[in-house]
Structure 1
Amino acid sequence: MATQASIAIPSVKDETAQALELLGIARGRYDLVPLDGVRKVVAKRLTEAARDIPHFPLVVHLAAQPLLDARAAYDPQEAGKVSVNDLLIAAVARALVAVPEVNASFTEHGLVRHHHADVAVAVAIPGGLITPIVREAETKSVRQIAIEVRDLADRAKRKRLKPDEYNGGSFCVSNLGMFGVSSFGSILNPPHGAILSVGAVEERVVAIDGAPGVAKMMTVTLTCDHRVIDGATGARWLQALAAAVADASSLS
């Protein structure tokens, strides 16, 4: 009979290696990066959201030239340089005011109708993703939004955000256009009732006055929590967004 001293007790490292071998991942063929707090929380929340929230996507193609023209009107040398994404956030806020049914969250206590457009912005950080929030975006100028987004993103990457700067919000915008992604769909991030995925501005062949022409276009995908938003409501919101984008020069 073996004594306690002679029994080989696998280390945590050995147990992990054995567990990975059951997945077909052989020893010596990988490096294991431990999950930090942010990655664990993000993984848990998004797994639950993808599994438990009934959701559906709505896709539209928008003419991007009004956004480009509106951005060009700002002096790039001034503080708070305005981006297309900043203008989109302002347009999103306007659309949320126009169609308030989308500016809502599902809870077990009932549907929460938010008084303000608290727009979260997806920011990639080392070890995961975080969504700092532009509070009351409908009350702010595009330049104010630009300054705030830049500050939030900078502090997010340095892990200097306060919890109330990334917890909550009523809606989210995720933009991968700067990476050349044409279109994509995002996983909902509760308590947001919807998330807008923004693709790249691209030159595409479209019909212009009944004839083929080239225009700068972008594809956006609205992922909706079906417990909060039905298809017709989501479509009306996208119409409101398209109108705000077409009138981008009026986004103050």
Structure 2
Amino acid sequence: MAPTDSDTDDDDGDRTESDEHGRTVREERSLSPMRRTIANRLQDSYRNAVHVTASREVDAEALFRATETANDRLEADVSLVDVALAALSATLADHPAFNATFEDGTHRTYEEHNVGVAVDIEAGLVTPVLRDVGSKSLAEIATERRRLTETVQSGEYTMDDLRGGTFTVTNLGALGVDSFTPVINPPEVAILGIGRTRERTRRGDDGLEFRREVTYDLSFDHRIVDGADAARFLGTLADYTEGAERFAPDG
């Protein structure tokens, strides 16, 4: 029996089609302008940079203590990420080669730590820039990061909010991801991924104990810095993370 229109059309009049392999096409859509821009930038990043990722698991107990202390003593709403940003800025001061861009064959390092903090919105991933992190107190970092996040989520950001970054942080730990390979945001030379905190069993003075750990994933452009440089960077970041009380009030 020949098919009728109701057999081949959906309620909106769109015809169901199959490809050459017999697969039924559920939907076809073009990329949005933002998604196309993201795709092009990621493609350019992989085409133009030599990506390598190094990872390190770090004791996070001091991060939690510093966050709790800050929230007790400050009016700002401080998160683990804010304390991690303070630790990152201190690390960038010790390893300036990572606080940098690479364009036209030139490796440029910068005095300011302008850290792009990735924010997930419906249209795609946006990285507003938290400027001059090294000059800010923990309360200022928390307040400004939250303001930038809310500005992006409300769609009220401008291109100026996204420009001038020297390093980027992306946090998938909040979504339950343990570890991942972040993609460098060109023309920057490195990006730090933050995984979720997990409890690990360790042998302590009084036997086994549970301690929380966080995974840092550092992707870097191997043309500019080497694996040993990345290892030292992560080692410094681990030291600042494990001594994170210094970033809290009276720390």
**Per the shorter chain, which TM-score range?**
0.7 to 0.9
TM-score, with normalisation over the residues of structure 2? 0.85
Pair 108,208 (structure 1): closer, same or farther in 2 beyond 3 Å:
farther
| Corresponding residue number in structure 2 for 1:243 | 239
Q: Any conservation in 1 of the 2:194–2:214 contact (CA below 8 Å)?
A: yes
Q: How does 1:72-111 map to 2 (within 5 A)?
A: 72-75=68-71, 79-111=75-107
**Identical residues among aligned pairs (%):** 31
Question: Which stretches of structure 1, 4 residues or longer, exceed 6 Å deviation after superposition?
Answer: none
CA distance in 2: counterparts of 1:33 and 1:197, whole angstroms: 30
| Corresponding residue number in structure 2 for 1:56 | 52
Please provide the CA RMSD for this pair.
2.2
Counterpart residue type for residue 42 of structure 2? L
> Any gaps of 5 or more consecutive residues in structure 2?
1-15
| 3-state SS of paired residue (2:71) | coil
Superposed CA deviations along residues 193-231 of structure 1, whole A, max 9, x for unmatched, are 111111111111234359643211111110011122111
Q: How does 1:1-252 map to 2 (within 5 A)?
A: 21=19, 26=23, 29-75=25-71, 79-208=75-204, 212-251=208-247
CA distance in 1: counterparts of 2:211 and 2:60, whole angstroms: 8
CA distance in 2: counterparts of 1:80 and 1:157, whole angstroms: 20
Q: Any conservation in 1 of the 2:74–2:139 contact (CA below 8 Å)?
A: no
TM-score, with normalisation over the residues of structure 1? 0.85
| 3-state SS of paired residue (2:188) | coil
Greater shift, 137-146 or 207-216, is seen at: 207-216
> Any gaps of 5 or more consecutive residues in structure 1?
1-16
| Corresponding residue number in structure 1 for 2:7 | none
| 3-state SS of paired residue (1:21) | coil
Superposed CA deviations along residues 123-148 of structure 1, whole A, max 9, x for unmatched, are 00111101111111011011111111
Greater shift, 135-144 or 234-243, is seen at: 234-243
